[in-house]
């Protein structure tokens, strides 16, 4: 049998100690039974079906899935694959000690091969573990499922590069076995989430996108770190208590939720309701450990103009004199009023639930740490690093961003970041930076960041391009490496890029690899100093992608197309070319 990793070969000498190899499949015949608990969680059931389904695709053998009480009803000489927290696993003395936040173990002991991880067992008992509903998409842990994915990737060479079947790689095997295996993994970042969940590509169903993200190990502990959180109150109190909402310059209260909801941050009556709501939610959901308290978007434009709020803005501005602005549209102008509000809520909630968190983003005009503010210990901070050009931007900008991060790290135990690798692409740019993104993730880990939300272009690009969207392709390699890096920062980027090109493009791998690496080089060594992208994105075609470079890139794609003239490799080259059509359009 072929193995895509040296994993089993490396452990081969154990065969002398272990009676015989553990066969899941031998010569296309099933040799093991997949066993799930009698009362399986959604994750355990789905992990079993994913394992069975990919073993079948690879070997044609169909492994039965049985509940524990049936599987062990009569004696057998079979091998058993134990999925999740079965009684048998516990009888064998295996525990999840040391496994946290959606991590997992893979272990063989005698005739048993165990896939078990830390899962969310309390929520989402119905449906699928890759819900299309964005409200449910991220806040769950799926260690057992990731144990299965890890096995399929390492031992069968399965890959999920794109959503749907076109980007799925399942090598054929006659037999699948392990000799002796015993390892545990916890993710380097406990929370891995994307914003811009659906690709809006007519070739893919939304459900395929959702499943693809889960296979990138999207998920995490607790709850979304922070996002605009007041919109739902408009329907509840807009008519009866308009005074709870932000007074606008035209003298009317803002009862429009399109900007994420803006309240009057001086209204104590509303704040009391908010605190009660949060306490009730924490009480009802023991697994939720962060709840967001954050104003709607474009705070500067929609913030409350009542006399009390205005006085607070003026006071806050004194502590942030002109010149404090950092990145584009990011400053500390409203840091004091927003974070004071968050702290007040955290203080009251903390009296009841000291171990749960109130989260807010360091965002736009409340991006900088307010000076001389004492933060409550239960405030979680998500720093929105809006200058996505950090990835290969000038070193001084990167350092400035990390200096801000370090300031926040001093004020919170729970630090997340919101990353925007998409911003470079948002203007149609063919920007690829797999190595750069890995370097940045390594820095974030060192800074104590616990999790990342990654903003992905599909959240706004379809509108820009008249609804037709294939440009996700321009982010795909970077995103693939980014999520691998969030799981383990020490991932081998060269190997990932090599495999990506080999697996997806077969005979066209060489020019495709050159194509991606040339794009990365152009971005890395580009003249970014002029920074006009945000004013006029078409400038980038003058400054970064010269006619000569575009011709080189197009030539490589044409070479790839010739080397893969038909079949699935050709389809993938064509799909890639469609994603990079900007190169022709801006010739």
Of 1 and 306, CB closest to Zn ion: 306
Describe the chain by its helix, strand, coil percentages, rounded to 5: 45, 15, 45
Nearer to Zn ion, 264 or 390 (CB): 264
- Minimal distance, residue 349 CB to Zn ion, in Å: 22
Spatial separation of the C-alpha atoms in residues 366 and 558, rounded to whole Å: 48
Kindly state the smallest distance separating residue 287's Cβ from Zn ion, in Å. 35
Residue 229 or 401: which CB sits closer to Zn ion? 229
Structural contact between residues 570 and 564, judged by C-beta atoms closer than 8 angstroms = yes
Q: Which is nearer to Zn ion, 244 or 393 (CB)?
A: 244
Give every CB contact of residue 41 below 8 A, 6+ residues apart in sequence. Answer: 84, 119, 120, 121, 125, 144
Give least dist CB 405 to Zn ion, A.
Answer: 31
According to the binding rule CB under 5 A, does residue 8 interact with Zn ion?
no
Q: Which is nearer to Zn ion, 303 or 454 (CB)?
A: 303
Pick the closer one to Zn ion by CB: 217 or 312.
Answer: 312
Min dist CB 242 to Zn ion, Å, is 12
Q: How far is the CB of 243 from Zn ion (least distance, A)?
A: 9
CB of 366 to Zn ion, least distance (A): 16
Of the candidate spans 187-195, 305-313, 357-365, 529-537, the one that interacts with Zn ion by CB under 5 A turns out to be 305-313
**Two tokens, residue 575:** 């799909």
Indicate the residue among 175 and 266 with the shorter CB distance to Zn ion.
Answer: 266
Query: Contact between 264 and Zn ion (CB under 5 A)?
Result: yes
- Alpha-carbon distance of 565 to 454, in angstroms, equals 36
Question: What letters, b where the CB count within 10 A reaches 16 and e where it falls short, cover 300-327?
Answer: eebbbbbeebeebbeebbeebeeeeebb
What is the C-alpha separation between 433 and 1, in angstroms, rounded? 35
- Residue 262: Cβ within 10 Å count: 28
Count of positions on this chain that bind Zn ion (CB under 5 A):
5
Binding span for Zn ion by CB under 5 A among 64-72, 302-310, 355-363, 559-567: 302-310
Q: Which is nearer to Zn ion, 8 or 303 (CB)?
A: 303
In the complex, minimum distance from the CB of residue 251 to Zn ion, in angstroms, rounded to a whole number: 13
Cα distances (angstroms) measured from residue 310 to each of 249, 254, 334? 11, 16, 11
Written as one string, the DSSP assignment of 25-92 is EETTEE-EEEEE-SS--HHHHHHHHHHHHHHHHHHS----EEEHHHHTSS----EEEEESS-HHHHHT
Nearer to Zn ion (CB atom), residue 264 or residue 405: 264
Which of 199, 304, 358, 473 binds Zn ion (CB under 5 A)? It is 304
Q: Choose the stretch contacting Zn ion; rule: CB under 5 A; options: 263-271, 333-341, 436-444, 499-507.
A: 263-271
306 contacts Zn ion (rule: CB under 5 A): yes
CA distance 219 to 224: 10
Number of Cβ atoms within 10 Å of the Cβ of 269: 12
Find the shortest distance in angstroms from Cβ 299 to Zn ion. 13
Instruction: Identify which range of 204-212, 213-221, 259-267, 542-550 contacts Zn ion by CB under 5 A.
Output: 259-267
Among 309, 454, 501, 563, binds Zn ion (CB under 5 A): 309
Strands (E), 196-335: 219-220, 290-292
Shortest distance (Å) from residue 370 CB to Zn ion = 18
Question: Residue 316 Cβ, how far from Zn ion at the closest point, in Å?
Answer: 13
- Judge whether 447 and 412 are in contact, CB under 8 Å: no
Question: Dihedral, CA atoms, 483, 447, 104, 420, nearest 10 degrees?
Answer: -20
Write down the least CB distance from residue 304 to Zn ion, Å.
Answer: 3
Cβ neighbors of 286 (< 8 A, separation 6 or more) are 122
Q: Judging by DSSP bridges, how do beta strands 29-30 and 22-26 pair with one another?
A: antiparallel
CA distance 240 to 243: 9
Would you say 309 or 345 has its CB closer to Zn ion? Answer: 309
User: Which one of 257, 266, 439, 581 is in contact with Zn ion (CB under 5 A)?
Assistant: 266
> Is the CA virtual torsion 385, 441, 475, 395 positive or negative?
positive
- Verify binding: residue 338, Zn ion, rule CB under 5 A: no
- In the complex with Zn ion, which residue's Cβ is closer, 293 or 309? 309
Region near Zn ion per CB under 5 A, out of 108-116, 170-178, 206-214, 299-307: 299-307
Six-digit token pair at 18?
A: 């272990």
Residues of this chain that interact with Zn ion (CB under 5 A) are 264, 266, 304, 306, 309
């Amino acid at each position: 049998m072929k193995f895509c990793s040296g994993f089993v070969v490396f452990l081969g000498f154990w065969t002398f100690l272990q009676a015989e190899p553990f066969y899941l499949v031998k010569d296309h015949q099933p040799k093991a039974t997949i066993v799930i608990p009698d009362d399986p969680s959604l994750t355990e059931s789905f992990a079993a079906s994913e394992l069975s389904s990919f073993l079948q695709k690879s070997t044609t053998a169909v492994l039965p899935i049985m509940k524990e009480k049936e599987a062990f009803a009569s004696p057998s000489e079979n091998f058993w694959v134990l999925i999740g927290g079965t009684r048998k696993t516990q009888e064998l003395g295996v525990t999840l000690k040391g496994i946290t936040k959606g991590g997992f173990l893979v272990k063989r002991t005698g005739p048993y091969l165990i896939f078990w991880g830390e899962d969310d067992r309390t929520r989402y008992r119905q449906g699928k573990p890759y819900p299309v509903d964005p409200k449910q998409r991220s806040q769950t842990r799926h260690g057992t499922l990731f144990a299965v994915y890890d096995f399929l990737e390492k031992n069968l060479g399965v890959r999920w590069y794109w959503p749907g079947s076109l980007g799925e790689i399942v090598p054929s095997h006659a037999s699948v076995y392990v000799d002796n295996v015993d390892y545990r993994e916890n993710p380097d970042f406990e929370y891995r989430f994307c914003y811009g969940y659906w690709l809006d590509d007519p070739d893919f169903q939304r459900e395929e996108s959702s499943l693809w993200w889960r296979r990138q190990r999207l998920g995490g502990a607790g709850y979304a770190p922070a996002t605009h959180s007041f919109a739902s109150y408009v329907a509840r109190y807009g008519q009866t208590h308009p005074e709870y909402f932000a007074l606008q310059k035209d003298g009317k209260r803002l009862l429009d939720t399109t900007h994420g909801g803006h309240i009057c941050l001086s209204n104590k009556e509303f704040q009391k309701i908010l605190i009660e709501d949060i306490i009730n939610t924490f009480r009802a959901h023991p697994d939720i450990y962060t709840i967001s308290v954050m104003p709607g978007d474009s705070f500067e434009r929609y913030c409350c103009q009542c006399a009390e709020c205005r006085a607070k803005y003026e006071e806050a501005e004194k502590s942030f004199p002109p010149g404090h602005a950092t990145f584009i549209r990011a400053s500390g102008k409203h840091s004091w009023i927003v974070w004071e509000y968050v702290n007040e809520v955290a203080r009251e909630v903390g009296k009841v639930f000291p171990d749960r968190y109130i989260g807010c983003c360091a965002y736009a005009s409340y991006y900088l740490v307010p000076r001389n503010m004492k933060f409550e210990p239960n405030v979680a901070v998500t720093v929105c690093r809006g200058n996505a050009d950090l990835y290969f931007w000038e070193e001084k900008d990167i350092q400035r961003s990390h200096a801000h991060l370090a300031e926040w790290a001093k004020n919170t135990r729970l630090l997340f970041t919101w990353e925007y690798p998409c911003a470079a692409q948002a203007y149609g740019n063919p920007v690829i930076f797999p190595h750069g993104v890995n370097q940045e993730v390594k820095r974030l880990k060192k800074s104590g960041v616990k999790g990342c939300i990654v903003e992905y272009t599909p959240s706004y690009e379809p509108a820009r391009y008249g609804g037709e969207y294939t440009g996700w392709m321009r982010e795909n390699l970077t995103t693939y490496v980014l999520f691998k890096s969030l799981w383990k920062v020490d991932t081998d980027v060269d190997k990932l890029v090599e495999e990506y090109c080999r697996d997806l493009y077969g005979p066209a791998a060489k020019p495709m690899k050159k194509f991606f690496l040339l794009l990365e080089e152009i971005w890395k060594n580009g003249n970014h100093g002029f920074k006009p992208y945000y004013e006029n994105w078409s400038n980038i075609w003058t400054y970064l992608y010269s006619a000569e470079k575009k011709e080189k890139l197009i030539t490589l794609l044409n070479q790839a197309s010739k080397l893969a003239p038909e079949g699935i490799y050709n389809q993938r080259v064509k799909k890639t070319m469609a994603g990079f059509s900007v190169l022709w359009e801006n010739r």
